[in-house]
Amino acid sequence: MGALMGSRGSRTFLIGGGWDATAAHAVYGPFLRAATGTRVGCVVLDEGDGSEQFGRYDAVLRKAADCNPVPLLVPLGGEFAADRLQDLDGLLVCGGLTPAYQDAFAGCLDQLRSALAEFGIPYAGFSAGAAVASRHALVGGWLDDGVPVCHEDTAEDLEEIEVRPGLGLVPFSVEAHAAQWGTLPRLIAAVARHGLPRGVAIDENTVVEVGADARARVSGLGRAHSVQPSADGSVLVRSYGAGEFLPDE
């Protein structure tokens, strides 16, 4: 395993979920190389199995690089404190119930965003963690005004599509598990009918890296799907693979 390398910077890594062990280096490597040290905080929503869930991320991060993951467990219904970023070289917000992660961050959105920028701590979001990185966080739902747009199993315990305030680290809304769970139609509906300026749906074992210049690059095994509104009220969907950049607007 290689040591962590790189310089601090305001970089964000959006991971579309997935646990393919062969993708560990491709998915987590860019994030870990962006850190200047080995201490990687892992925010895990603790629904009673937080230590077990942290263990999964601990294992995959150590597989990707020589690092020291640090558990940052938040009990269901609890709040995350931005001062927990102290002495960290990277922050990974893990997967789970997306609305509950948004609830955990709701009281410290500005403080957390400011701390990441001030200390140059790279942010990675896995599934739910990717969704809450946006300013307009699409947290779930499977109905658009009563009409199904994705499978009920992907609804995150919500009925209608719901958008909540997020961290504002990236200029577009985010869906994860795009190809595997069929969540792209929910993002299309959110952009077309709920006023989202644009969105990106990310396949599993795939990462979208957003640099300080806001340019977004795809890497990993799958694809990222850009959803943009058109002047006629429709939406434009384009798909991008590893090594390609998403459109700026």
Over residues 47-76, the pLDDT tens digits come to 999 999 999 999 999 999 999 999 999 999
Query: Is beta strand 123-126 parallel, antiparallel or unpaired with respect to 90-93?
Result: parallel
CA 98 from centre of chain? 10
- What average pLDDT does range 112-137 have in this prediction? 96
What confidence score (pLDDT) does residue 212 get?
A: 83
pTM: 0.95
Q: How far apart are the first and last CA of the chain?
A: 37
pLDDT grade for 2, boundaries at 50, 70 and 90: very low
- What average pLDDT does range 7-11 have in this prediction? 58
The rounded percent of the chain whose pLDDT value lies above 90 is 89
Over residues 21-34, the pLDDT tens digits come to 899 999 999 999 99
Q: Which amino acid is at 139?
A: V
Give all strands of the β-sheet with 206-210 in edge-to-edge order. Answer: 68-75, 39-46, 90-93, 123-126, 12-15, 206-210, 216-220
Average pLDDT over the chain reads 94
- What average pLDDT does range 178-183 have in this prediction? 98
pLDDT at 4 exceeding the cut of 50:
no
pLDDT grade for 36, boundaries at 50, 70 and 90: confident
- Contact predicate 174/202, CB 8 Å: yes
Sign of CA dihedral 219, 11, 3, 64: negative
- Contact predicate 200/130, CB 8 Å: no
Q: Give the Cα separation of 124 and 122 in Å (integer).
A: 7
- Which of 164, 170, 148 has the alpha carbon at shortest distance from 226? 170
